[in-house]
Structure 1
Amino acid sequence: MSEPSTPSTSAVSSPSLSSIETPPPPGTPPILHQNTIDPDAPWLVQKYGGTSVGKFASQIAENIVPCNKLAIVCSARSGSTKALGTTNLLLLAASEALKRVPPTPSPQRSGTVTPFTDSPIPRSSRTGSPPDTPAALVDQSVNSVASFSKTVDVICSEHITAAHSCVRGKELLAELEAEIIKDCENLRAFLYATQVYSIVGFGEKLGCKIIAAALRDRGIDAEYISLENIVPPYDEVDGSLGQDFYDRVSVAFAERVRQCGPRVPVVTGFFGPVPGSLLRQVGRGYTDLAAALLAAGLGASELQIWKEVDGIFTADPRKVPTARIIPVISPEEAAELTYYGSEVVHPFTMEQVIRKKIPIRIKNVENPRGGGTVIDPEADLESEQPRSDFGGAFVDGILTNGHINGSGTPRQRLPTAVTIKERIVVLNVQSNRKSVSHGFLAGIFSTLDRFGVVVDLISTSEVFVSMAIEDVLDRKLQARLVRDLEKIGIVSVHHDMAILSMVGLQMRNMVGIAGRMFTTLAQGNVNIEMISQGANEINISCVLDARDAVKALNLIHQSCLQIKPEGPKGRVGPWLF
């Protein structure tokens, strides 16, 4: 794209968003802000989510992006409503494209049927009959594509509006608008051919082009990069999604980004089809995974995940007014919180970075000067020694993440966070004593496996099993599951439950903390359905009625996670939204 003409840049043409040009020769005065060319400078990888790309593109370009060795990864932008989110619209358009219109009788031969084919029909032909095509078939084709074509129009309109809101230069805006229209027309052609697997990444393409244009509009030399065709061939990785596959992908990502030279790469979070389907294997969090793989391949100094919150809190601040932010958390604690209801970073995604000893920092797009929360791969939060890195804070002589008072005397440790996971169903199965214990348990788990059920919590004895699972099965499928379990034993089902989990590395050696937790709930008149202790000893969980969830959350936060009034205040811990 061309930079808007100014007295200092009128003779300089900026590179296109969809092409790579040779970097300027050594000694050329810099016109735009660029990445450093120092080969020893560490990389910084920033990932921006859909809401950030959708609402804060201008703020990202103006206030956040630093001028160092930086790579940016973007999600598909969110819309003005959840339904207008780009990925949601793309999946809607895909489902519309796959619909078939009932065939109509051919006018050429009475009593025969002309089937609707999947051949692409150019957009221009929607107003007239293509050569050698019966009029009835054209009408049928028009009807079948009208729905998803309108959805594509919405996608195009949403992104053009976003472009006008954050790009000021007329020439740059005109070229960006032309690229958005071209991409949407390509999407329309893909949909005509019902190639659904190819369309999901369009959201990342459009979002990245808007961010790249916004950066260039503000004097930062940015280059758009699509990773959709960069995944190694399947035969090289035996069609497997083992760690070796992701290591190869990580190296490929890094090699492509390094080709940008001094420009700031703006990279799509979608990286094309993988063995077994990216959406099925990884899910909608593939953008976080792409950023993690890129950070690992580049050996980045840090992976920053930018959201719309200040970091991780001791509890959901929307439900617990006294919840506080934490500067540092261990990967084990972050993973445990993700499993039990928070939205930190998926453990598998986190593993790709942590195994390379790269910290992950969660920051707020609306508060870029805030320190955020660091998931530190080398955090030793059980140590009694203060940490000097990442800014451990002292409050009235107390190290908030090290529990040391002013005289150096260790003080009482506290759990790190408390979380609630709602929409839980409890299944209780009591043996009918027709099978021995190992057959009883084997029968239960094989039945759950057939239905694809994941158990969040379990409590067992030789003849009785209680399981907490997410309420994701429809009622008919759930009834079938219960009928199959009734062949093994007596089954009872409890709906509208919630899992309350207290998390903290320090809890391994925290005498009496479980007693305090359950005593607090009892005094608050909260009934407990089942109890489970995590195998890693950093999590104590219980299941209770969903109606008591917020009440229990506040009781435990006040009783177990806050420094008592007689002591200094300022204890912090994690929770993310």
Structure 2
Amino acid sequence: MHQNTVDPAAKWLVQKYGGTSVGKFAAKIAEDIIPEYLDQHKVAIVCSARSGSTKALGTTNLLLKAASEALQRTSNPSETPGTMSPAGVFNRLTNYQSPFTSPGKSSPTSATPGISLGMSPMHAATPTFSETVDVIRSEHINAAKAAVRNPELLKELESEIERDCESIRSFLFATQVIDEISPRSRDSIIGFGERLGCKLVATILRDRGIDAEFVSLENIIPLSESDNFVDSETLDQDFYDRVADVVAERIKQCGNRVPVVTGFFGPVPGSLLRQVGRGYTDLLAALLAAGLGASELQIWKEVDGIFTADPRKVPTARLIPIISPEEAAELTYYGSEVVHPFTMDQVIRRKIPIRIKNVENPSGGGTVIHPDPDVEGVTNGADPSYPPVIPTTSAAKASLALASPYADKHSPLRQPTAVTIKEHIIVLNVNSNRKNVSHGFLATIFGTLDRFGVVVDLISTSEVYVSMAIEDNYDKKMLDRVVRELSKSGTVQVIRDMAILSLVGKSMRNMIGISGRMFTTLGQGNVNIEMISQGANEINISCVIDGRDAVKALNLIHQSCLQIRPEGERGRGAFRR
């Protein structure tokens, strides 16, 4: 079987595949992508939980749904989670169908469908969560039948899927009996998704002649290590460095086999979902790449890479071949789905580049997030198909100056890297009632936001006036409470259905006139600006506009600031006087 290269000088290459890639393109990954890398690299694969035919049928969503269903009150509406008496627990235990019984199957532990504690079969009822688990089971069984051709491998995989789904059912049954799901238990529940997805991918690889090994990381962090951090609010970098080392050591034990690794890496202190969120698979891939000293971390998606704008909204958007980590982080903050900045930092600090690639176009170069700021192209988002122009006549020089008033006379044409839009924004304007001094006014505003956990995307302040842009994803009642609290400090105005437009580029620090061009373009396009903010790192200029103008503004700024094609002779070199 095809294995990882035996060349001792070969470096590791970590590939991360998302849920959609695993759900729709697992066979393509096994046939067209991974074999291309095995002879030159030692490849490690990290997989997310498999997506479904719809977002609601995604494995992680179904597992979270099942967890919620396990705590639903069905027999006694007066019960609330965490308040059941010991007698109530016993009654629930004696009046439940066995979690090991699926529709159409006999229980492996009992001849009757109920638990053998004196319960009559007529009282048995299938828990709602069991039906959800059956959906997960059928989704993976169907995927296995569609992709695995070897009957023996298929039979083995089906048995694994059945076994894991019965484990999920048993786990959920236990949580329903004790009437509680702790944060760590919820982590364990969603961890089943990566197990199922990775087993599917590993079997498909073996079916295609690649010697793959399924690697589960659910117990990779020792319990003693975990307990030391149980009271931590946040995990420090030393913890993540230790995780990187222990994960890398486990992967090296696979020898020449291709490891297929779960993105879920066990009971992280304080809960993986709370500490990291649902992007933990990307984080694990980054930690693995750091621990192995990989030559590159590849994030495989269903897009060619990072574009100068959303190509679904801007037809003239171009692929960015190389970008700095700072620019990628800004694009992530302001609406583009790139890589979470914290995840990115785990590999960038080890000088490992990240490449975004498309599973549907594996021969494409993708976009490289490069850790070295001095690499040519990192500080200039210009399309390489338009090389710098050498003006040779006074007319050409005048044309260039007119087209790009912020270009340095002695350096190649500079332009921003990308423009992005973040929709569904609310603007909160707070005007002080002047009964507070300025520092007390701002302290009260920020204290209120902190108390309610409100994250501010943009802010503009003066002594007695604050404008804040926040995402419209908070509960209405909670947001009303925030507004009432802010009203104690002054008059509050709430403006809904807004959008944040951000122009991003590392070289913008030295672009004289770029702000003027951006806002003049919006003004000429009749796009009203509600507030303006520039990032502290000076590589983005953002403004808040009406959400109805979002797509129009995106195209206007892309055409004005990112599609500059000066007339004149083409050639390579710096501008001359």
* Residue in 2 that maps onto 1:83: 56
Matched, 1:366 2:376: no
- Superposed displacement of residue 383, structure 1: 7.7
Q: Report the residue type matching 1:116 in the other structure.
A: R
SS at match of 1:544: strand
Q: 1:166 to 1:379 in 2, by over 3 A?
A: farther
SS at match of 2:127: helix
Matched, 1:211 2:201: yes
CA distance in 2, matches of 1:179, 1:448: 47
- How many residues align? The count is 519
Q: 1:392 to 1:79 in 2, by over 3 A?
A: same
Matched, 1:184 2:165: yes
CA distance in 1, matches of 2:128, 2:389: 62
- Superposed displacement of residue 103, structure 1: 4.2
SS at match of 1:266: strand
Structure 1 unaligned residues grouped into runs of 5+: 1-31, 105-111, 571-577
- Superposed displacement of residue 380, structure 1: 2.8
Q: Report the residue type matching 1:234 in the other structure.
A: S
* Residue in 2 that maps onto 1:313: 307
Q: Report the residue type matching 1:547 in the other structure.
A: R
- TM-score w.r.t. the length of structure 1 is 0.85
The partner residue of 1:251 within 225, 240, 245 is: 245
* Residue in 2 that maps onto 1:162: 143
Q: Report the residue type matching 1:130 in the other structure.
A: I
Render the CA deviation track for 1:27-46: whole Å, top value 9, x for unaligned: xxxxx111123443210000
* Residue in 1 that maps onto 2:83: none
Matched, 1:485 2:494: no
CA distance in 2, matches of 1:139, 1:295: 55
CA distance in 2, matches of 1:489, 1:569: 58
Q: 1:87 to 1:129 in 2, by over 3 A?
A: closer
* Residue in 1 that maps onto 2:31: 62
* Residue in 2 that maps onto 1:418: 419
CA distance in 1, matches of 2:570, 2:145: 47
* Residue in 2 that maps onto 1:42: 11
* Residue in 1 that maps onto 2:472: 471
Q: 1:139 to 1:557 in 2, by over 3 A?
A: farther
Q: Report the residue type matching 2:456 in the other structure.
A: V
SS at match of 1:193: helix
* Residue in 1 that maps onto 2:435: 434
Q: 1:514 to 1:385 in 2, by over 3 A?
A: closer
549-558 or 472-481, larger mean C-alpha shift: 472-481
- Superposed displacement of residue 216, structure 1: 0.8
- Superposed displacement of residue 411, structure 1: 3.3
Q: Report the residue type matching 2:336 in the other structure.
A: S
Task: Write the mapping of 1:115-514 to structure 2, written as runs, cut at 5 A.
Answer: 115-117=91-93, 121-123=99-101, 124=107, 125=110, 127-135=112-120, 142-143=124-125, 145-194=126-175, 195-232=185-222, 233-237=225-229, 239-240=231-232, 241-380=235-374, 393=384, 395=386, 410-514=411-515
Q: 1:166 to 1:150 in 2, by over 3 A?
A: same
Contact (CA 8 Å) 2:17, 2:48: kept in 1 or not?
A: yes
Contact (CA 8 Å) 1:396, 1:568: kept in 2 or not?
A: no
Q: 1:193 to 1:567 in 2, by over 3 A?
A: farther
Contact (CA 8 Å) 2:168, 2:189: kept in 1 or not?
A: yes
SS at match of 2:345: helix
SS at match of 1:484: helix
Q: Report the residue type matching 1:423 in the other structure.
A: H
* Residue in 2 that maps onto 1:99: 72
Render the CA deviation track for 1:118-163: whole Å, top value 9, x for unaligned: 997542259444333343xx766x43x5311111111111111111
CA distance in 1, matches of 2:264, 2:255: 22
- Superposed displacement of residue 476, structure 1: 1.6
CA distance in 2, matches of 1:506, 1:80: 42
SS at match of 1:247: helix
Q: Report the residue type matching 1:312 in the other structure.
A: I
- Superposed displacement of residue 386, structure 1: 10
Q: Report the residue type matching 1:83 in the other structure.
A: A
Q: 1:515 to 1:386 in 2, by over 3 A?
A: closer
SS at match of 1:425: strand
Matched, 1:557 2:549: no
CA distance in 2, matches of 1:72, 1:384: 27
457-466 or 123-132, larger mean C-alpha shift: 123-132
* Residue in 1 that maps onto 2:395: none
Q: 1:345 to 1:385 in 2, by over 3 A?
A: closer
CA distance in 2, matches of 1:457, 1:386: 25
Identical positions, percent = 71
- Superposed displacement of residue 79, structure 1: 0.5
Q: Report the residue type matching 2:226 in the other structure.
A: Y
* Residue in 2 that maps onto 1:6: none
- Superposed displacement of residue 542, structure 1: 0.3
Q: Report the residue type matching 1:412 in the other structure.
A: L
Contact (CA 8 Å) 2:389, 2:568: kept in 1 or not?
A: no
Q: Report the residue type matching 1:43 in the other structure.
A: W
Render the CA deviation track for 1:420-460: whole Å, top value 9, x for unaligned: 00111001111111111110000000001111001110000
Contact (CA 8 Å) 2:187, 2:272: kept in 1 or not?
A: no
Contact (CA 8 Å) 1:382, 1:505: kept in 2 or not?
A: no
